[in-house]
């Protein structure tokens, strides 16, 4: 037993020595970050660089030999880069929902705990915070693997000049929560329509006849449940903790492989990384074969389209905008050539942004 204690002390002493090296190296890295700040300030350059962020994550994945999972190391470096950005210029991030919403969690996953976060009650609030310069970037949901596209987010791009700077894919898990933690006491359930849709089968099987009430966000639902002893909310575990609610059931989403894609919006353009995605908005001429003509340049240039959605223009009946995502960057010659061809066959073409492609 004594020998084991001596062996344990020796291992811990070695860990302490490694920790000291880590602290020294992190501060050495921070000194270089301050040099980067001086260069960017002199050149009037933007401090947040999505292409550089993605480059760091990909390099970590290539270098990692274990036993740490790559996701763990990337989470650690997220905080390192968040602290580094705070040294350069603290970022202010607007997000949809209240504290504890899935969008809030996605924002923290992207920008780390050293950034400042500002909630937006509506999606439009998030856009306006960034447009008016009260936040550097905004985070908004765009689509869910179960419930599909958040159309209101698409609609806001019609009038906004903001750019898509980056994207986030996050696994979504829903928890039913209440003040009592007792399923039998639940008379109504609050949540955002998307979350309710993702848990529809579970609700029908476990709470038949219970009143379902839509809320502006999952975090708002948690706030409402915290004030109502006969109500429950579907929200995140973080929202339960913030609002002092007890979990009734976890992972109640109908599909376990449940992801939501979020967009980072801002006023900057992301540089090319070689693994990028471009989003455009197109208004086409009202004639036979217009959509076919629109899609031809993509096929001709060999682009992989990842999404195409249509939305009413709200200007006249049967007039639509098409939102298209495809793999590639606007700075690539073949992308510019495809856009030029699309412009000839369209009324308007608006590039919403080219940005590093997030991989699940």
The fraction of the chain above a pLDDT of 90, given in percent, is 77
Same domain assignment for residues 218 and 282: no
- Annotated active-site residue 157? The verdict is no
Structural domain contains residue 138: no
Q: What is the mean pLDDT of residues 193-210?
A: 95
Chain segment 326-355, per-residue pLDDT in tens: 999 999 999 999 999 999 888 899 999 999
pLDDT of residue 334: 93
Structural domain contains residue 284: yes
Helix (H, G, I), strand (E, B) or coil at 156: helix
Structural domain contains residue 200: yes
Name which of 4-8, 135-139, 288-292 the model is least confident about: 288-292
pLDDT of residue 318: 63
Residue 80, burial from CB neighbour count under 10 angstroms (0-12, 13-18, 19+): middle
Q: Where are the beta strands (DSSP E) in the chain?
A: 92-96, 116-120, 137-144, 148-149, 163-171, 175-178, 188-191, 211-214, 231-235, 246-250, 259-266, 276-284, 305-312, 320-327, 346-356
Residue 205 sits in a domain of what CATH number?
3.40.190.10
Q: Any idea what DSSP says for residue 66?
A: S
Structural domain contains residue 188: yes
| Cα(220)–Cα(222) distance, integer angstroms | 5
Q: Among 218, 260, 273, 278, which one carries the catalytic annotation?
A: 260
User: What residue numbers bound the domain in which 182 lies?
Assistant: 175-250
With bands split at pLDDT 50, 70 and 90, how would you rate the model's confidence at 30? very high
Q: Any idea what DSSP says for residue 183?
A: G
pLDDT of residue 360: 65
Same domain assignment for residues 233 and 199: yes
Q: Among 96, 127, 157, 262, which one carries the catalytic annotation?
A: 262
Same domain assignment for residues 239 and 298: no
**What residues contact 83, with CB distance under 8 A and at least 6 apart?**
30, 112, 114
With bands split at pLDDT 50, 70 and 90, how would you rate the model's confidence at 90? confident
Domains contained in the chain, number:
3
Residue that is last in its domain, among 222, 250, 278: 250
Structural domain contains residue 312: yes
Structural domain contains residue 108: no
Q: What is the mean pLDDT of residues 291-303?
A: 88
Same domain assignment for residues 185 and 233: yes
């Amino acid at each position: 037993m004594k020998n084991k204690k001596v062996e344990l002390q020796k291992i811990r002493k070695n860990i302490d020595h490694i920790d000291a090296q880590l602290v020294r190296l992190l501060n050495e890295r921070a000194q270089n970050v301050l040099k980067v700040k001086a260069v960017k300030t002199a050149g009037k350059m933007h401090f947040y660089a999505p292409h550089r962020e993605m480059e760091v994550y990909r390099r970590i994945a290539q270098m990692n030999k274990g036993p740490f999972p790559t996701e763990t190391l990337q989470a650690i470096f997220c905080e390192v880069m968040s602290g580094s950005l705070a040294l350069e210029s603290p970022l202010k991030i607007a997000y949809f929902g209240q504290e504890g919403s899935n969008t809030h969690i996605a924002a923290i996953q992207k920008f780390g705990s050293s950034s400042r976060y500002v909630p937006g009650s509506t999606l439009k609030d998030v856009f306006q915070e960034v447009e008016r310069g009260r936040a550097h970037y905004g985070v908004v949901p765009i689509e869910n693997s179960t419930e599909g596209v958040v159309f209101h987010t698409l609609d806001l791009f019609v009038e906004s000049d903001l750019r898509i700077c980056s994207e986030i894919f996050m696994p979504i898990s829903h928890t039913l929560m209440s003040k009592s933690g007792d399923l039998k006491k639940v008379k109504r359930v609050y949540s955002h329509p998307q979350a309710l849709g993702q848990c529809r089968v579970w609700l029908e099987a476990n709470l038949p006849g219970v009143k379902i009430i839509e809320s502006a966000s999952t975090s708002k639902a948690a706030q409402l449940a915290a004030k109502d002893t006969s109500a429950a909310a579907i929200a995140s575990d973080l929202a339960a903790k913030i609002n002092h609610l007890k979990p009734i059931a976890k992972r109640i989403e109908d599909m376990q492989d449940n992801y939501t894609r979020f967009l980072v919006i801002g006023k900057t353009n992301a540089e090319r990384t070689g693994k990028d995605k471009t989003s455009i908005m197109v208004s086409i001429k009202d004639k036979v074969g217009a959509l076919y003509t629109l899609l031809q340049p993509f096929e001709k240039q060999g682009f992989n389209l990842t999404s195409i959605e249509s939305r009413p223009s709200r200007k006249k009946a049967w007039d639509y905008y098409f939102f298209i995502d495809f793999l590639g960057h606007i700075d690539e010659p073949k992308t510019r050539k495809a856009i030029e061809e699309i412009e000839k066959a369209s009324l308007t073409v608006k590039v919403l942004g080219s940005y590093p492609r997030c991989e699940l």
